[in-house]
Amino acid sequence: MKIKEIIVVEGKDDTTAIKRAVEADTIETNGSALNDETIERIRLAKKVRGVIVFTDPDFPGEKIRNEISNRVPGCKHAFLEKDDARGKAGYSLGVEHASGEAIRKALRDAQWMNEEAIEEITQEDLIASGLIGGQGSSYRREQIGKLLKIGYTNGKQLYKRLKMFQISRQQFAEALQAIREEETNE
């Protein structure tokens, strides 16, 4: 599988894992040490070939993703599920730990973030749906992130991602219904 866009990853081990899974070029942020020079390379890459941001599903990875989103709007974003990014010891998360198939799936599912999206789903909707502030809300957010292919988030990030990815009320309702059916069947 050849990827046209340049993939932005955190480090060398991520680049190695990407290149094992697909034919692609990468830009490494060197972890959270994201500097102006790297941002300029990402801007140029976006202009020339397009960019897919593919950071680890952890707090530092989300911080890097958000900074790139704010400084270089219009990039695609690929997300790994935490279980697919878990190291052998089970405590570290990273793109470098993912299988080739998990990486290829995340890249196939990469989506555009649109900062100008119209707000359709409210914080109140998230609370009423049991996605914020209740028992099991973290699990439900993980499930909705998988179903909508927007990655795992905390409550505040979920609201922002739903807005940026322009998730419609119908898509949201269908994903919630699937989660409720799964919970009923357990």
Average pLDDT of the residues of the chain: 89
Query: Both 125 and 92 in a single domain?
Result: no
CB count within 10 Å of CB 90 equals 7
Q: Domain ends where: 113, 145, 164?
A: 113
Percent of the chain with pLDDT over 70: 95
Q: Give the model confidence (pLDDT) of 15-33 as tens digits.
A: 999 999 999 999 999 888 7
pTM of the model: 0.70
Query: Both 95 and 170 in a single domain?
Result: no
Query: Both 104 and 134 in a single domain?
Result: no
Whether 105 contacts 112, CB under 8 Å:
no
**CATH number of the domain to which 1 belongs:** 3.40.50.140
DSSP label of 132: S
Query: Both 87 and 8 in a single domain?
Result: yes
Q: Give the model confidence (pLDDT) of 80-122 as tens digits.
A: 988 888 877 767 889 999 999 999 999 998 877 555 545 578 8
Structural domain total, the chain: 2
- Supply the angle between the helices 137-148 and 169-185 in degrees, to the nearest 10: 120
Q: Which residues pair with 9 in a beta bridge?
A: 28
CA atoms within 13 A on the CB side of 144: 28
Residues 46, 54: Cα–Cα separation, whole Å: 14
Domain containing residue 171: 116-186
Query: Both 24 and 79 in a single domain?
Result: yes
- Of the listed ranges 58-62, 84-88, 114-118, 149-153, the least confidently predicted one is 114-118
Query: Both 11 and 53 in a single domain?
Result: yes
Residues 137, 126: Cα–Cα separation, whole Å: 9
Q: Which residues pair with 112 in a beta bridge?
A: 76
